[in-house]
């Protein structure tokens, strides 16, 4: 169908009877129900043998969820978080999983579980000591929604940005206040010797 793509060929081992063929629908894919067929080819030793499946229905539908990532900031060597705003476009049952992708080297995030009535999800991230500081764009989310007995993969929130800052410089050390040196007190002047007349005056009653 228009707007869908997938690998040209996949290999199936001789002892296997099933295989997964992954399809990708871009933003311009035409919605609706389409009839598709799978062709197979094997080498019989005396030439190729061709086989075909019956026509099967393939439904191309609108996405179940949409998401936007807030601008996130972190510091080298410290944990942080990336917040995503969720919009449920089509209700679904059960829980979906959301995984943050496109993270730069040294940054990891855990997978989170979301539901159809959830409006926000927070991805805790770990920033290693050797993560590269700077502005890193290209973050996005892979959301796996349970539907029709299987899982539908969504790529959402394209263009998210994470800014990684260098560690903050430690505050300057405060110098200990220096003790003020007290000026030496001048030595008391030596007493002036009394004159003979003053000595006589002191002796008088």
- Mapped to the 3 state alphabet, what secondary structure does 70-94 carry? CCEEEECCCCEEEEEEEEECCCCCC
Residue that terminates a domain, selected from 31, 60, 89: 60
Number of domains in the chain: 2
pLDDT at 22: 86
CA distance 156 to 166: 29
pLDDT at 180: 66
Q: In this structure, is residue 198 part of a structural domain? A: no
Regarding whether 87 and 33 lie in a shared domain, the answer is: no
Provide the whole-model pTM. 0.69
Regarding whether 101 and 22 lie in a shared domain, the answer is: no
Q: Residues of the chain whose pLDDT is less than 70?
A: 176, 178-192, 194-205
Contact 82, 100 (CB under 8 A): yes
pLDDT at 26: 86
Q: In this structure, is residue 194 part of a structural domain? A: no
**Residue of 130, 1, 123 lying closest to 57 (CA atoms):** 1
How do 150-165 and 72-75 pair as beta strands?
parallel
Q: In this structure, is residue 189 part of a structural domain? A: no
**Residue of 145, 64, 72 lying closest to 102 (CA atoms):** 72
pLDDT at 184: 60
pLDDT at 181: 65
Q: Which two tokens stand for residue 37?
A: 């067929």
> Residue 50 belongs to what domain range?
4-60
* 3-class secondary structure, 199: helix
């Amino acid at each position: 169908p228009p707007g869908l793509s997938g690998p040209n060929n996949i290999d199936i081992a001789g002892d296997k009877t099933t295989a997964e063929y992954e399809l990708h629908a871009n933003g311009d894919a035409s919605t609706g129900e389409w009839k598709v067929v799978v062709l197979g080819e094997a080498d019989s030793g005396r030439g190729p043998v061709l086989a075909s499946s019956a026509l099967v229905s393939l439904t191309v539908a609108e996405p179940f969820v949409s998401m936007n990532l807030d601008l996130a900031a972190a510091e080298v060597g410290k944990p942080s978080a990336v917040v995503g705003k969720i919009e449920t476009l089509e209700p679904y049952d059960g829980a979906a999983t959301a995984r943050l992708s496109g993270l730069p080297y040294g940054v990891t995030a855990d997978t989170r579980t979301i539901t159809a009535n959830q409006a926000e999800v927070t991805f805790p991230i770990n920033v290693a000591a050797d993560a590269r500081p700077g502005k890193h764009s290209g973050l996005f989310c892979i959301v796996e929604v349970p539907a029709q007995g299987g899982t539908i993969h969504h790529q959402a929130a394209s263009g998210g940005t994470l800014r990684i800052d260098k560690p903050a410089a430690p505050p300057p050390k405060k110098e200990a206040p220096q003790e003020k040196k007290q000026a030496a007190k001048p030595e008391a002047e030596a007493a002036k010797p009394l004159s003979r007349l003053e000595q006589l005056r002191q002796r008088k009653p």
